Amino acid sequence: MHKQALLPSSGQLESLETTIFIWLLTTMKVVVKNWHAIAQWKWDTGNNDADEGDVEGDVCGICRVPYEGCCPTCKMPGDDCPLIWGECSHVFHMHCLLKWIGTAASKQQCPMDRRPWVTAERKVDPS
Ligand SMILES: [Zn+2]
Ligand SMILES: [Zn+2]
Ligand SMILES: [Zn+2]
């Protein structure tokens, strides 16, 4: 009995292994979850018609960077570089559009169709 008490019981070893196993599972779960979130991230531009066949339909008309990316002045896409919708149904990075509207050449018009730019009442829902 006395000799047995000096050695770690099999029960203790098992619980250590279980702890490591659970830790691994938890860590992997977090990694997979994050990857999933990044892979699924996409602005809802309302232009998800695959039948349109317009390969440039999902890029900002000003900087030609996809909406999922950010404008040239930003480093991180997402809430810090939002999109802006116009009444004419065109979508741009807000920063690109504001920079464009700020130039005299723009005449406050949409750069795609030259109609007077009117910002549409549409908010990005970060669901
Ligand atoms: Zn842009
Ligand atoms: Zn930006
Ligand atoms: Zn337009």
| pLDDT at residue 53, as a whole number | 45
What gap in Å lies between CA 94 and CA 100, rounded to an integer?
Answer: 10
- If one compares 72 and 2, the residue with the highest pLDDT of the two is 72
| pLDDT at residue 19, as a whole number | 72
Give the pLDDT mean for 22-46: 58
Asked if the model's pLDDT at residue 3 lies above 60, the reply is no
Q: Which ligand is nearest to the CA of 111?
A: 3
93 membership: H or E segment, kind and range: strand 91-93
Asked if the model's pLDDT at residue 108 lies above 90, the reply is yes
Q: Which CATH superfamily is domain 44-127 in?
A: Zinc/RING finger domain, C3HC4 (zinc finger) (3.30.40.10)
Tens of pLDDT, residues 57-107: 689 999 999 999 999 999 998 889 999 999 999 999 999 999 999 999 999
Ligand 1 centroid from CA 43, angstroms: 13
CA-based nearest residue to 67, from 58, 79, 75: 58
Ligand 2 centroid from CA 56, angstroms: 19
